[in-house]
Structure 1
């Protein structure tokens, strides 16, 4: 588990998660119900199979509540973030962390051949890096203690 591993490797190693999405015409209230039901912070906004936006708790707080919009009368399309920055499975963990830090967002859609392959969070990336560091530390401790394998 290294910082230069690809997002495809990361997605393949974690338990499969269903990617939840909503359509832009649906109400913000419906989106909030989904966020609460699944205890998540973001939904992909799709028109058919095409990714057209992303809707987050941050979108609701900053654009909805502060803008005076009511959740039942406002559509997801009115508040979603669009266009969406996405990556493909060949991007590295390091590239994704840099992108997310530069743009100050916590979720990043992974798209391959115009289809959604998954979503990674900053938490997913941090866990990946920490796991890699723990493996390196264990290997170094083994080396120092003389427990490394002999040829």
Structure 2
């Protein structure tokens, strides 16, 4: 499929605008409970209004479970991914897909005017490409 063909929807339309956040000093167990409750795969790590990174299901599996760390005693700051990888809200789905592939990640923080306004997941992109990506 040509990148010049097809509908180019801005990421702002595809992203999840409600951002789930967690403090860096919260436990990984708290993060897992919050992800499950909110039905999300990642939380933005925020402290005193500053976005420090992101903690994802992959971080929990690879950095906590695989290393046999205790989730109740392990802090989010020890396993979060930093620096926070971002993309502008006006970027295309293809730009987001490329950025995720280059960084080897499944979640991007979407920014507008320097502020994080949402989270875009690989699932959001799959939904986009399945439903709209091949239209001309």
Q: Which category describes the TM-score, using the shorter chain as reference length?
A: 0.7 to 0.9
The structure having more radius of gyration, on CA atoms, is 1
| Number of equivalenced pairs | 132
Does structure 2 conserve the Cα–Cα contact (< 8 Å) formed by 1:49 and 1:115?
Answer: no
TM-score, normalised on structure 2?
0.84
Which of 8, 13, 21 is 2:12 aligned to? 8
- The structure with more strand, counted as a fraction of residues: 2
Q: How much is the aligned-residue C-alpha RMSD, in angstroms?
A: 2.1
Gaps of 5+ in 2: 1-5
Q: What is aligned with 1:65?
A: 65
Gaps of 5+ in 1: 137-151
Residues 1:94 and 1:3: Cα distance change in structure 2 (over 3 Å): farther
Following superposition, the deviation at residue 134 of structure 1 comes to 6.2
Q: How does 1:89-104 map to 2 (within 5 A)?
A: 89-104=89-104
The two structures have a TM-score, normalised by structure 1, of 0.77
**How much has 1:8 moved relative to structure 2?**
2.6
CA shift, 1:3, in A, is 5.4
Task: Indicate how the Cα distance of structure 1 residues 4 and 52 shifts in structure 2: closer, same or farther if over 3 A, else same.
Answer: same
Q: Normalized per residue, which structure has more helix?
A: 1
Specify the alignment match of 2:22 in structure 1: 22
Moved more, 68-77 or 99-108: 99-108
1:97 and 1:74 map into 2 onto residues whose CA distance is 31
